[in-house]
Amino acid sequence: MDIKNEVLVRIYIILFGIIVPISVLLLYRTIQIGILEGDYWRGKGEQRYIQLRTVEAERGNIMAEDGSLLATSIPFFDIYFDPLAASDEDFHYHVDSLAQSLNQYIGQYTAGKYRELLMQWRAGKKRFIPLVRGISYSQKQMLEELPLFELGQFRGGFIARKKNGREYPFGRLAFRSIGYSRGEYKIGLEGRFDEVLGGVPGQQMMALVDKGNNIWMPLQDLTQIEPQNGYDIVTTLDINLQDIAESALMRGVQAHDADWGAAIVMDVKTGAIKAIANLSKGKDEDGFFEVYNNAIGSRTEPGSTFKLASIMALLEDGYISLDDSVHLENGEKMFYEITMTDDNPLSRNLDSVTIKHAFEISSNVGIATLVDHYYGRENETVRWEGAARFIQRLKDFNLNLPTGIEIDGEVDPYIKEAGSEEDLWSGLTLPWMAHGYELQITPLQLLTFYNAVANNGTMMKPYLVSEIQHFGETKEVVKPLVIKKQIASPNTIEAAKELLEGVVENGTAYKLYTDEYRFAGKTGTAQIDYTRYSTYTRVGGYQASFVGYFPADKPIYSCIVVIYNPKQNGFYGGEVAGPVFREIADKAYATKIKLHAPLNNLPKPKLVSRQLPHMDIGHKEDIQQVLSQLNLRYYGQPETELGVIDSRTDSIKILNKSIPQDRVPSVVGMGLRDALYVLENRGLGVEISGFGKVVSQSILAGTMINGQTIKLTLD
């Protein structure tokens, strides 16, 4: 084969072996895509640039028990302009007035600059121009009435994109408990009830007008699927008590330079949380903020507030009575070569006292001695049998279980199992557990236990949400839930109440005592970050606490205050946490009428003559009206304008009261209004001091009137 033929063969091979098959394949794919599958691929293109997009639903409100808004959604709007929506006639007719209006209401540019931009945007065929972001509904209404914009989105190019912002009318009040829901971060009530509050999103057909910024523009006025607004939740929080608790706690953590503090107020009968405050020191020590819910999420060794559980266990098992004696050994005792001491100086001069008094002065040695004696005795066949009974009593009090409050973040309490190697059980465990060590519990869990004591032994589940509503209509009511009908016998509960009242009246909280009302509680001072040695304990800090309830005779509220690691002005529970508890109780007592006994719930007392009005002077018709309103029978119809009340042993009589015209009358016994009426009508000037009735006058009665000024003293 010559060279020419060889070249032709190669050309034919390339042509028919490669080029022609590829051309045929390309032709086939063109026909297939363009004709046979044309509708499918055109639909794909439209889906890429025209889609049914999600429309956000309006989030529900979170309210206090009285309906006050704690968290609510406020609509904000981003305003855009589509310069190609208007016809040439409409655009050029309105462009000048629109530029003037944009300058007046937005003010970013001059009117001339706005006109120039409007012309450029239309010439450049841009479809989605941002004008202003984050304006209110009223501002949005104002802008949509501007020239051209008043024609709407599809004739005037006015586009308003709604977005909801979360607002908190009471600022950071109960902020951590209210919480937030931001993507994967769901905290507090906002997080726990996210689906209830969030509602159901809607859908609307939109077109992609800015691929780079992923901006979509609605293609029609109405959504295809309307969003369903979220439901509202009504909390148990009392705004006034919440403010009282946060303010008192703030003063406490600031005064003692603590790491954090927590305070909870609970309704005794229902378990409803009326206030829950958490304050932690901010970064660089720039103040205290509610950044973590320590009340439910921080478990610590409680210290002496746990002694109530130890005494109740001993009482339930019938080992002791409050009048029994216990040896304090001058406030120092050795347990397995480790020395336990009492912090209270009173214990160091006492050898033997009643168990009641040992509890009141918070003797570590006294309570530990009792628990170790009755539960630490070994049985030859069953080791740790006594310790297991003690732990079982704690479980009977539900101290080993979380409360189940409806917001996330609650940690389980930690109670060791008797004899457990995994829990590092030792001979020291029982005496140290007896006064609140080698176990951990959160403030809310401890308060739930004390609340059960205040509630005559019935343990209630703490809860924060009482109702779910939609547009004001109740959809669900959350009723109080009993966790345990009786955590201990009535005799043990009564003894526990007696102990807690004694702490305030005679014990470590005696400085908190008040004559205004009675409250009961227990102080607690726990060491933190400590290391025990045979002869001493290295302590890294303290936790101060006070937990109790008020009023003591008929408890309505229980309350716990925990202040962690106070660094100045004391560290004992009675001097750090106790005053915060007392401030909360004082202000609650001053503002809550239900804390006061009704004045009319007692038998109506019989009045004696000295309790009746006597020798009071006033206008006779006023006297008659008052006596009639008080259902006090009287007789006598004075002929004078004024009358005098004369109280007899068995009756009230109204006597005549004559007033001379030319002489200074006696107005002693009159109210100020009647005294002024009498004196000024006779031309006398009057000066007064004090409040109440006239008890003396500067000019003697019977003195001739000559335009004098008379001074009256009221009391």
Residue 202, number of CB atoms within 10 A of its CB = 16
Query: Are 566 and 627 contained in the same domain?
Result: no
**CA nearest neighbour of 330 among 362, 374, 366:** 366
Least confident piece of the model among 259-268, 368-377, 467-476, 608-617 = 608-617
d(CA 595, CA 580) in angstroms, rounded, equals: 19
Of the chain, the percentage scoring pLDDT greater than 90 comes to: 43
Query: Are 578 and 614 contained in the same domain?
Result: no
Of residues 197 and 20, the one with the higher pLDDT is 197
Report whether pLDDT(191) > 80: yes
Sequence-separated contacts (24+) of 688-691 with Cβ below 8 Å: 688/712, 688/713, 688/714, 689/713, 689/714, 690/714, 690/715, 691/715
d(CA 667, CA 658) in angstroms, rounded, equals: 11
Report whether pLDDT(502) > 70: yes
- Which domain, by its residues, includes 7? 3-36
Per-residue confidence (pLDDT) for residue 592, from 0 to 100: 86
| Bridge partners (DSSP) listed for residue 652 | 634, 647
The pair of structure tokens assigned to 326 is 């216990």
Can you spell out the DSSP letters for 162-194? EEEEEE-TTTTTTHHHH-EEETTEEEHHHHHTH
Query: Are 562 and 674 contained in the same domain?
Result: no
What CATH code is carried by the domain that includes residue 280?
3.40.710.10
**Total structural domains within the chain:** 4
Per-residue confidence (pLDDT) for residue 567, from 0 to 100: 94
Residue 470, number of CB atoms within 10 A of its CB = 16
Report whether pLDDT(88) > 90: no
The pair of structure tokens assigned to 504 is 């305030």
Query: Are 495 and 382 contained in the same domain?
Result: yes
List C-alpha distances in Å: 114 to 171, 245, 341, 474, 523.
39, 54, 81, 51, 70
Query: Are 519 and 545 contained in the same domain?
Result: yes
State the pairing for strand pair 709-714/685-690.
Answer: parallel
pTM of the model: 0.73
Per-residue confidence (pLDDT) for residue 388, from 0 to 100: 93
Per-residue confidence (pLDDT) for residue 33, from 0 to 100: 59
**CA nearest neighbour of 449 among 305, 279, 284, 598:** 305
Contacts for 339 with CB less than 8 Å, ≥ 6 apart: 332, 333, 534, 535, 536
Report whether pLDDT(599) > 70: no
Q: How many residues does the chain have?
A: 715
Query: Which of 561, 595, 629 is at the close of a domain?
Result: 595
Query: Are 287 and 161 contained in the same domain?
Result: no
Residue 603 lies in a domain: no
Report whether pLDDT(602) > 50: yes
d(CA 519, CA 514) in angstroms, rounded, equals: 9
| Bridge partners (DSSP) listed for residue 76 | 163
Average pLDDT of the chain to the nearest whole number:
85
Per-residue confidence (pLDDT) for residue 606, from 0 to 100: 55
The pair of structure tokens assigned to 374 is 């009755």
Residue 31 lies in a domain: yes
Per-residue confidence (pLDDT) for residue 9, from 0 to 100: 66
Report whether pLDDT(31) > 60: yes
